[in-house]
Amino acid sequence: MGLIRILAFLLLSLQAIAVQASQCIPTQFDETVTLDYVNDGDTITLTDGRLVRLIGIDSPEIDFQFPELSQSYATPAKKYLSEVVKPGQSLLLAFDKQRLGPYGRTLAYVYTEKLEHLQEMMLSHGFAKARVYQNDYFWQCLSKIERTARERKVGLWSDKSYQPLTTDSLTRDDSNKWREVRGVVTGYERKGQNFELNIDNNLVVMMSQQDIGKFSNILTLKLLESRVIVRGKLYFSYGKYRLNATHPSQITMENTP
C-alpha cells in the first residue's frame, strides 16, 4: 500500500506541474482523441475524420490552391503546430457552450496528455491571435497570453502587417472587414439605447443596451484620453467609421503609448 500511495502521489505531483505550465485548464476533459494530421495553425483532423477548430484563436490563413498568396506566418504557424503534435498522438478535448461551428467542425480547447494547451502555445509563440467567436470560457486567459506575445514582438507580432491600424489610416477598403484599430478615447455618450465610444473623433464603437453590461469593467475606468485597441467589422456611416462591439474582448486598454 505504501508503494502505491507513493506512486499515486508522484503522478498527482507531475500532473500539478503540468497544470501550472498551462494557464487555461478546464475543470474536466470531454474526450480523448487521436490526431491524424495538422491542417493549419488552428485546425486539426482526427483519425475518426472530424475536423477540430481550436477555440479562441485565429491563425494566419493558408491558400492551399495558391500557397504564395497565403497570409504572412501562415506556413510557419502550421509547421510549428506540426512539430508540437504528431500523427497518432492522443489528445484531450474540452468543449465550451457551442460544440459545432457553422462549417461542421468540432470546436474545442485541445491539450496533449501532458496537459499542454495547444491554443496557449500558438499564442505565446506568436503564431495566432486571440479571437472570440461564440465560445469564450477562456477568453481572458488567452487574451493575456496574446498580450504578452504582442509586447515581446514574437512571431507575427514582429510583422508590420499585423499591427493595429490607426484611425487616420482607415479607408473605404477596410469597410465590411474585421480590423484592429489603435487610438485614444476622445469622448463617450449614451445615444438612445446605445452607448458610443469615440476614438480619435474618427471611429465610433457602438454597444447596444443588451450588451452594455458585458463592458462594466471597461466602462467604469477613466476612459477619456485612454489609449485603446478596438476590434470588429468596420463600416462607414454618417461621416465616420464605426464598429459594433458585442464582447469585451473587442476593447483592450493600453497601459503605455
Given this model, what pLDDT does residue 73 score?
Answer: 95
When pLDDT is averaged across residues 89-95 and rounded to a whole number, the result is: 98
Is pLDDT at 11 greater than 90 in this prediction? no
Residues in CB range of 222: below 8 A, 6 or more apart: none
Nearest to 51 by CA among 63, 40, 61, 62: 40
Is pLDDT at 20 greater than 70 in this prediction? no
When pLDDT is averaged across residues 191-195 and rounded to a whole number, the result is: 86
Given this model, what pLDDT does residue 16 score?
Answer: 42
Q: Quickly state the pLDDT bin for 7 (edges 50, 70, 90).
A: very low
Percent of residues, the chain, with pLDDT higher than 90: 75
* Residue 132: Cβ within 10 Å count: 20
In contact, 128 and 41? CB cutoff 8 Å: yes
When pLDDT is averaged across residues 103-128 and rounded to a whole number, the result is: 97
Q: Domains of the chain by range and CATH?
A: 10-158 (2.40.50.90), 164-253 (2.40.50.140)
Q: Quickly state the pLDDT bin for 1 (edges 50, 70, 90).
A: very low
* pTM (global) more than 0.95: no
